[in-house]
Structure 1
Amino acid sequence: MGKKPKIKELLVESACAHSPTKKSACNTQTPGATTGGCAFEGAQISLFPYADAVHLVHGPITCLGASWETRATPTSYSGRDFTQMGFTTDISTNDVVFGGEDKLRDAIAYIMQHYAPEAILVYATCVTALIGDDIDAVCRQAQNTYGIPMVPVHAPGFVGSKNLGSRLGGEAVLASLVGTREPEKTTPFDINLIGEYNVTGDMWQYTPLLEELGIRVLATLSGDGRIADIRTAHRARLNVIVCAKSLISLTRKMQEQYGIPFISLSFYGKRDTSNGLLALAEALGDKDLCERTRILVTREEAWLDEKLAPYRRLFQGKKAILNTGGNKSWSIASALQDLGVEVVATSVRKATEDDKEKARQYLGENGVLMTNPGTEQAQIIDRTGAHLLLAGGRSLYTAIKKRIAFIDVNQEKKKSYGGYKGLLNLAEDVKNALENPVFTIVAKEAPWEK
């Protein structure tokens, strides 16, 4: 079990091109930052898809209620899916006074007796961090007693933003799981997928292509992942950061400790999926693999272009505004452009500096990078004559007021937009939204009001 992570070390990241040049450190705590998602939520988002581990929230019941089942992260795990269950120590006023460590020990004993998971991840929260509960000591004792990994996750909400919490989740995995088990076999094309949470099954859109190429996913962090696999992740030949850069600290440290290089890819849209597959093959350094990948990409693109032809005719001249967060500010913009839709604006309010650069690259000089989308998006709809708004559920009312089509693309969405087949799903949703008469009817005056 590794040492407790130091927040200051995570705020400056040498592997991030923007960190050394900024006046303030990456993800520095600012007043009100946690209102957009706290560090505890970020850590849970990063680790929650491990379905064979129990995620025990050491804190008040409200922390559990506000965090679990936040994303549709399906799993093929054949056993009991613990992501569908909530576990908490339910810290009360008495525990604040007398300490909650005994309650944590009892909770772990109960879980082991009734559920027998592959690991228990114990999350510190604001209350238990403030009263000084030593979850490291409790986890160390429990691990010796029960013989399975007990992982302390030090990401209480008050330390910073959701993005920082994701990094802290990665630190916990690196300290307590990675390198604690050897794989039964290795191959020259073993990779880890880092930052892939399999939201709505995104990962399953492209992993069959990797399997066809002979590339084996040794471990994921953490979509459809297994604790036993992440323990062997130190034997991978390559770490692949999928879209998001919040876990770049983890990949940099794995490169330093285990010599594993890393690359960053996106599997949204035709261009990025094709470029990602080719870049992955090139990074693995095998000429035959590169040639097989080029053949596969040519085949998949030809199939996709044939399927998309009728959609592209329908989308000619259509303009869209994108109001989402993080890497989706540019990855979904790329996918929309592959469909022939012009993206006139995207939100970068929750984006990293790297995300902002990519958004500018995809949208061009005339595209608007919205820093305050709540007030900007309505004005941009009027100015550009946009036909479509893609955002979270709260922006639906803007679309209704402006009588333009709307698609929910945040984590509440039900379909995957990843990979080649996911682009077809997006095309169908865009078509249905544009042809849905409700958006032109809903804001009209009633006949008796005319």
Structure 2
Amino acid sequence: MDEKGSNTLLKEREDFISCKHENGSNKGMKCDSNSLSGAISQRACVYCGARVVLNPITDACHIVHGPIGCASYTWDIRGSLSSGDDLYRNSFSTDLGEKDIIFGGEKKLVAAIDGIMEKYTPKLIFVYATCIVGVIGDDVKAICKTAEEKYSLPVIPVMAPGFAGHKSMGYKTAGNALMNLFSRNILPKVSGVNILGDFNLAGEMWIIKEYLKTIGVKVISAITGDACYDELKMASSASFNVVQCAGSMTNLAKRMEEEFDIPFVKISFVGLEDTKSSLLRIASLFKDKEIIERTQKFIKEEEAKILPTLNRYKENLKGKKAAIYVGGGFKAISLIKQFKELGISTILVGTQTGKKEDYEVINSLVDDGTIVLDDANPAELEKFMKEKGADILAAGVKERPLAYKLGVAFCDHNHERKHPLAGFIGAVNFAKEVNDSVNSPVWKYVKEGGENYER
């Protein structure tokens, strides 16, 4: 058996699995393609990718044109906290059934829009076309256009049939819908930034905004955590875009650069070092000496507050091994760095939607022997976690049961958590969660297959 374990894994998956070797590279690693049928991929569909990006817009109505299951699938699965409106917490569906699939569902969609306008007062409406609609051919765009003219508000079609690709395609679809909105209101430039790709899962957008306010940088629009229509209308006026979630927002940032002349930089507020470098990078965009000096002072003060705590946790965690499986490559890169800050080495890292350039960076950060996976399935995660002796898995809620069954500690770095993991406070929260989970006495009693799991 080779280091990939190819004699026990699906042969068709071999090109999606890499083992870091000295001076090695992941240039040949396959990624960003449709999931292998039968491999029980953890990756979601086009509709899911679009919905999770757009759903945090707090004063919007989201109509899912399709079976009721689609509406329930991504509704309210993320924290996406709001400081104002909570209309987005409602999920609307046309609930297409067999007769609608045979005779068409356009009348149901028209009735749904009319019903929403009668009962609610949304600032805008998104209409998601799901798989069934893609098959039966309802003219969603025409219905949205008619509704816009009737009610004088944006009714934006989101063409997201799940079979059209994978989650990354959904991100692109959501970006197209946002550009539809932004393009209606082209404004002169002002000094400030848009924050792209933070969804305010546990208040992170508020933390980032407060940091930028402290250093003297104005936030024009939050795209899309705690977003509202009136702020999103201003997005075209920003001087710069700062992109927190590169996987979901890079395509949108590129379009905004091309069409609105807004340059963008990729940043990350995950981990102490990335938070510091991101603040300095944002400050340097404006070439303002006072902003840079305020930023340096702010970083020094905040770092002094948390370093003693982080160092205490680091003493408890030295020599531990981490496995990572998250949605995007940029988050995986930040997590590798953050684990390293705590004295933890990464022995397995995978993403659902990573690109070739992401895996190149990952390869440069991890040690020899580290397994790198694209669009992994539970069998692969289990195999390599056991072989490499992982002490903790940082992943999403779908992977939690797998970690616990293997007797491995777990850190939820996805959408159901209730505490922020961004910024300086997030670095402390992360270190505390990792320490509490890895060093819990429960692992002394956990058995797998009747025998203690060797760690």
TM-score interval w.r.t. the shorter chain?
0.7 to 0.9
Are 2:147 and 1:142 aligned? yes
| SS of equivalent to 1:121 | strand
Partner of 1:405: 409
Structure 1: tracts of 5 or more residues without a match: 1-21
Matches within 5 A, 1:52-201: 52-77=59-84, 79=85, 81-175=86-180, 177-181=181-185, 187-188=190-191, 190-201=192-203
CA deviations 1:314-348 (Å, max 9, x no partner) are 22222222233313322222222222222222124
- Partners in 2 of 1:129 and 1:24 — Cα distance? 32
For the structure 1 residues 30 and 291, does the alpha-carbon distance in structure 2 shift closer, same or farther, using more than 3 Å as the test?
A: same
Partner of 1:354: 357
- Partners in 2 of 1:154 and 1:445 — Cα distance? 47
For the structure 1 residues 147 and 166, does the alpha-carbon distance in structure 2 shift closer, same or farther, using more than 3 Å as the test?
A: same
Are 2:298 and 1:293 aligned? no
Letter aligned with residue 221 of structure 1: I
Are 2:437 and 1:430 aligned? no
Letter aligned with residue 126 of structure 2: L
Letter aligned with residue 337 of structure 1: K
Matches within 5 A, 1:252-267: 252-267=254-269
Contact between 1:349 and 1:373, CA under 8 Å: does it hold in 2?
A: no
- Partners in 2 of 1:106 and 1:241 — Cα distance? 38
Matches within 5 A, 1:263-412: 263-327=265-329, 328-348=331-351, 350-371=353-374, 372=376, 374-400=378-404, 402-412=406-416
Per-residue deviation, 1:409:
2.6
For the structure 1 residues 123 and 309, does the alpha-carbon distance in structure 2 shift closer, same or farther, using more than 3 Å as the test?
A: same
Partner of 1:439: 443
Contact between 1:181 and 1:231, CA under 8 Å: does it hold in 2?
A: yes
| SS of equivalent to 2:76 | coil
Poorly superposed stretches of 4+, deviation over 3 Å? 22-35, 364-367, 370-386, 392-404
- Partners in 2 of 1:373 and 1:100 — Cα distance? 35
Two-structure CA RMSD over aligned residues (Å): 2.7
Letter aligned with residue 362 of structure 1: L
Contact between 1:99 and 1:131, CA under 8 Å: does it hold in 2?
A: yes
Per-residue deviation, 1:356:
1.4
Contact between 1:41 and 1:162, CA under 8 Å: does it hold in 2?
A: yes
| SS of equivalent to 2:246 | coil
Per-residue deviation, 1:260:
0.7
**TM-score if structure 1 supplies the norm length?**
0.86
| SS of equivalent to 2:207 | helix
Contact between 1:348 and 1:356, CA under 8 Å: does it hold in 2?
A: no
For the structure 1 residues 29 and 403, does the alpha-carbon distance in structure 2 shift closer, same or farther, using more than 3 Å as the test?
A: closer
For the structure 1 residues 110 and 314, does the alpha-carbon distance in structure 2 shift closer, same or farther, using more than 3 Å as the test?
A: same
Letter aligned with residue 347 of structure 2: V
For the structure 1 residues 144 and 25, does the alpha-carbon distance in structure 2 shift closer, same or farther, using more than 3 Å as the test?
A: farther
Contact between 2:346 and 2:367, CA under 8 Å: does it hold in 1?
A: no
Q: Percent identity?
A: 33
For the structure 1 residues 338 and 204, does the alpha-carbon distance in structure 2 shift closer, same or farther, using more than 3 Å as the test?
A: farther
Partner of 2:423: 419
CA deviations 1:262-282 (Å, max 9, x no partner) are 111111001101111111111
- Partners in 2 of 1:358 and 1:340 — Cα distance? 20
Count of residues in correspondence between the two structures = 420
Per-residue deviation, 1:410:
2.8
For the structure 1 residues 426 and 24, does the alpha-carbon distance in structure 2 shift closer, same or farther, using more than 3 Å as the test?
A: closer
Structure 2: tracts of 5 or more residues without a match: 1-26, 451-455
Per-residue deviation, 1:399:
3.9
- Partners in 2 of 1:437 and 1:47 — Cα distance? 41
> Does 375-384 or 42-51 show the bigger shift?
375-384
CA deviations 1:89-124 (Å, max 9, x no partner) are 111222223322221111111101111111110111
For the structure 1 residues 247 and 26, does the alpha-carbon distance in structure 2 shift closer, same or farther, using more than 3 Å as the test?
A: farther
- Partners in 2 of 1:290 and 1:361 — Cα distance? 30
Contact between 2:63 and 2:92, CA under 8 Å: does it hold in 1?
A: yes
| SS of equivalent to 2:336 | helix
- Partners in 1 of 2:94 and 2:432 — Cα distance? 44
Partner of 2:235: 233
- Partners in 2 of 1:47 and 1:101 — Cα distance? 23
Per-residue deviation, 1:212:
0.8
Per-residue deviation, 1:162:
0.7
Contact between 2:347 and 2:370, CA under 8 Å: does it hold in 1?
A: yes
Q: Which has the higher contact order (CA 8 A, sep 6+)?
A: 2
- Partners in 2 of 1:24 and 1:336 — Cα distance? 24
